Structure 1
Amino acid sequence: MGHVVEQRPDGEPGPERRPDGATPGSEVEPARQAAPEQRAEPERFDAEQFRQFQQFQQFQEFLRYQEAQQGGSTPRYPPAAAPPQQLDPAPPGRPKAPRWLRWLGKKVLGWLVFLALLALALILAAKYIINMVTGGDDPERPAAEMGGGTYRTNKILSTEPYEAVRKVYAQIAYGRPDLACGYFDNERGIQQRFAVNTGYADCREAVLGLHEQVAHVNDYAESIYPRTYDPDATTIRIDSCDFPIEGGPALGTFVVTKQDFEGQWLITGHEKGPRTCPAPPASTGPTR
């Protein structure tokens, strides 16, 4: 089969020529050569920007996951982990004590309060008993207020004659010269007379010396007890040997005088007596 030669309009064989003398298709090649293919270089990121970009993507994924949960639909993929956040450490607080230590502290505190209240109650009870035994004297009252004349304006002595002498025995039993000597009339020198009659230089030495001879404090403090007397009498003589003196020496005979203010009784006299009283005579039966 033979080759077919393309006929041009002008009857000449070969490619068609344009009026400007250019061959069809000749302009394509130069264009391709003039515009070579250029590829854009990818934008370069440093490591820090790339990390921030990843964190931003993770945050977007987390937001989409939350929206899906609130809307009731299930996401196709689990949420990306949120970027870790560095929190400021909390300031160290005071360590809490163990429970057993707190319980023990409450128990110890309760026992301390209980013991303090118990000690206070015992002190008050002891003071009450002492006041009952001594006739209600105030142990803090100085001797200058007792028997020094203030009984004329203050009620500081006993209002019963036998109680006035019993207080002397009681204060000697407890070794309180400041109180025992105050029951005597010091203006008439009865304190000194009592000291001499009992064998001592002064009233203070007498009380302290007689106190050393006391063997039973309670028995000796209660040696003298109330007896009936004439309510109209203003002076009464009280002999120690008329009573069973126990636990210590007898103190002789006392003379007490009723004072005008509040009917108080003051010891206005003293007579020497035996240290040991003779036994009372035995009662004899009726004779025929």
Structure 2
Amino acid sequence: MTDEPGKDLAPRQPPPQPPVPHQPPLQPQPQAQAQPQAQPPAPQIDPEQLRQFQEFQRFQEYQRYQEATGQAPQAFKPHGRRWWLVVLGSRVFWRALFFLLVVFSAMWAYDNFFGRDDPGGIAQDSGGVTGPAQGLSAPAGLQGAVGMFYKHVSFADTTRACTLIYRDDARERFAQAHGASDCGEAVRKLKDQVTNVDRYQQVMFPPDMLKTPTSTRVTIDSCELTVEGGPRLGVFVVEKIGSGWVITDWSPGSCG
């Protein structure tokens, strides 16, 4: 049997497939819920760091307030250590204090053992001086024995005024002439007669009295002086004893 021409050229049909059994649709699987993770413990805050942070916050707020109000910025003073605690804890402070103590101790020792000359003061007792007389460097002039006597009277300085008079009998005559029981009372009475302290303590001496004396005994009469603002104080006899001039005698003046 002969095959028909072109029969082999026809397309072939695929063989029938067996039926696929019905499957239910896939259901989405529920996702597992995330378990909450444990929180780490809160870190401990250092109180000092917290204080510094709060100070810094206040400083920032202070700066913003200054900028907003247009005020001039001022130094911000945080609450820190007190300044005196810082000073007491400084070695420099204690070294400086020790140095000052050494200096003052040396000065005190020098004055105590060697002493200083005290113009206008004389070491004395009832019999006179107990050592070299330490009077003034001149008999007359504002810094001389008589000039300083007027100055002490103007201030009622009874101690310095009376110690310039060397002898007891001269002090007694000075007190009796002014109706006083002693030299100090006489000085206080004379002070009451002073009307101008500034002028009275600046007694003017004649040029001859201001020259260097040629002898160790000089007489100065208050009548020859220019005295303003108070009474004249009589006639003084001034002598050089040791290295200074002191009043060794006194008598009332003829001019009041």
TM-score (norm 1): 0.46
The answer as to 2:66 corresponding to 1:87 is no
- From 138, 150, 159, give the equivalent of 1:160: 138
- Equivalent residues of 2:165, 2:247 under 8 A apart: yes
- From 152, 156, 159, give the equivalent of 1:175: 156
Q: % of aligned pairs identical? A: 31
**Aligned mates of 1:246, 1:211 — CA distance in 2:** 13
Structure 1 residues 67-90: Cα deviation after superposition (integer angstroms, max 9, x where no partner): xxxxxxxxxxxxxxx746242451
- Equivalent residues of 1:148, 1:182 under 8 A apart: no
Greater radius of gyration (CA): 1
**Aligned mates of 2:118, 2:230 — CA distance in 1:** 22
**Aligned mates of 2:231, 2:161 — CA distance in 1:** 15
Distance 1:185 1:177, change over 3 A: same
- From 246, 262, 265, give the equivalent of 2:228: 246
**Aligned mates of 2:43, 2:212 — CA distance in 1:** 103
Structure 1 residues 122-160: Cα deviation after superposition (integer angstroms, max 9, x where no partner): xxxxxxxxxxxxxx9569x68758x9414x425x21121
Structure 1 residues 167-220: Cα deviation after superposition (integer angstroms, max 9, x where no partner): 110101111100000111234x21111111223221000111111221111211
Distance 1:101 1:226, change over 3 A: farther
Cα deviation, residue 274, structure 1 = 5.3
Q: 1:1-288 counterparts in 2 under 5 A?
A: 54-55=37-38, 83=40, 85-88=42-45, 90=47, 93=51, 99=74, 144=124, 148-150=128-130, 152-153=131-132, 156-162=134-140, 163-187=144-168, 189-225=169-205, 227-228=207-208, 231-259=213-241, 261-262=242-243, 264-273=244-253, 276=256
- Equivalent residues of 1:198, 1:272 under 8 A apart: no
**Aligned mates of 2:151, 2:164 — CA distance in 1:** 12
- Equivalent residues of 2:166, 2:248 under 8 A apart: yes
* Count of paired positions: 160
- Equivalent residues of 1:234, 1:258 under 8 A apart: yes
- Greater relative contact order (Cα < 8 A, sep 6+): 2
Question: 1:76 matched to which residue of 2?
Answer: none
Give secondary structure in 2 for the equivalent of 1:161.
coil
- Equivalent residues of 2:206, 2:225 under 8 A apart: no
Structure 1 residues 32-76: Cα deviation after superposition (integer angstroms, max 9, x where no partner): xxxxxxxxxxxxxxxxxx65xx14xxxxxxxxxxxxxxxxxxxxx
Q: Provide the aligned C-alpha RMSD in A.
A: 3.6
TM-score (norm 2): 0.51
Give secondary structure in 1 for the equivalent of 2:232.
coil
Structure 1 residues 255-274: Cα deviation after superposition (integer angstroms, max 9, x where no partner): 11222x22x22211111125
Cα deviation, residue 244, structure 1 = 1.6
**Aligned mates of 2:239, 2:123 — CA distance in 1:** 20
Cα deviation, residue 226, structure 1 = 6.3
**Aligned mates of 2:239, 2:160 — CA distance in 1:** 18
Distance 1:164 1:218, change over 3 A: same
Distance 1:221 1:137, change over 3 A: farther
**Aligned mates of 1:166, 1:248 — CA distance in 2:** 14
**Aligned mates of 2:172, 2:155 — CA distance in 1:** 20
